[in-house]
Amino acid sequence: MTSIEEVIRTRRTHKSFRPEPVPAEVVRELVDVARWAPNHHRTNPWRFRVLGPTALARLKEASGADAPKLDRAPTLIVVSAMLTGDLIQDEEDVCATAAAVYALLLAAHARGLAGYWRTPKVLRARAGRDAVGIPTGERVLGLVHLGRPRGAPAAPERADVETVLEFLA
Ligand SMILES: Cc1cc2nc3c(=O)[nH]c(=O)nc-3n(C[C@H](O)[C@H](O)[C@H](O)COP(=O)(O)O)c2cc1C
């Protein structure tokens, strides 16, 4: 059993994938893990939409020249947070959904899958949101790319602990 710490340290953003899609039952397992992310007031704000061929075609059409980038990974999941209009609640729900995306990426990595959290411009535009059925009142956090890895990306640099940690008196 791999430790959670090792899973966290070894997860990488992959941009190159094998062509086989992630089976639906595995996607279900990943979302089943993701929904255990911390979530103030238990609002369950996260929504996960797995693109099928028709939705992907619509999103590519809305993407214009960026459409080829949507062919990188065999499985694409739009993750969004449902908002209420209450600013504090919405901020917390966006944070909770980001935590859920990370949990999903870690669960995928623990299963030997490659993942990539991407925030394509098209999902900020009305046409892109419509293409994947995002209603007004949902905030898209990203388009998660999943699949079997091709190659192994190097770890990018991180700021060291001393740079980011301060013990206050
Ligand atoms: C909220 C968020 C949005 C991201 N959007 C993009 C993106 O649009 N394009 C991209 O190349 N990487 C994107 N990334 C991935 C980061 O570039 C990546 O995590 C970073 O380079 C560190 O690499 P690592 O994930 O392998 O540690 C995003 C990551 C996060 C957390």
**Residues with Cβ within 8 Å of residue 160, at least 6 apart in sequence:** none
Write the single-letter amino acid at 147: G
Rounded to 10 degrees, what is the CA torsion of 127, 133, 136, 140?
-80
Look at residue 124 in the predicted model and tell me its pLDDT: 97
Query: How sure is the predictor about 149, in pLDDT bands with cuts at 50, 70 and 90?
Result: very high
pLDDT band for position 151 (cuts 50, 70, 90): very high
**Residue-level pLDDT at 30:** 99
Report d(CA 23, CA 50) in Å as an integer.
11
Which atom of ligand 1 sits closest to the CA of residue 14? Answer: 26
- CB within 6 Å of ligand 1 — which residues? 12-13, 117-119, 142, 156
Longest distance between any two alpha carbons in the chain, whole Å: 57
If one residue of 79, 80, 113, 118 were mutated to test the ligand 1 pocket, choosing by the most ligand atoms within 8 A of its CB, it would be 118
pLDDT in tens, 85-126: 999 999 999 999 999 999 999 999 999 999 999 999 999 999
Distance CA 65, CA 168 (A): 50
**8-state DSSP, 150:** S
pLDDT at 14: 97
Q: What is the pLDDT of residues 24-66, one digit of tens each?
A: 999 999 999 999 999 999 999 999 999 999 999 999 999 999 9
Tell me the average pLDDT across 12-24: 98
pTM of structure: 0.97
How many whole angstroms from 117 Cα to the centroid of ligand 1? Answer: 6
Q: Indicate the pLDDT class of residue 148, thresholds 50, 70 and 90.
A: very high
Strands 46-50 and 114-118: unpaired
Q: 1 pLDDT exceeds 90?
A: no
The protein residue with its alpha carbon nearest to ligand 1, atom 10, reads 118
Which domains are delineated in the chain?
4-164 (3.40.109.10)
Radius of gyration of the CA atoms of the chain, in A: 17
Atom number in ligand 1 closest to CA 98: 1
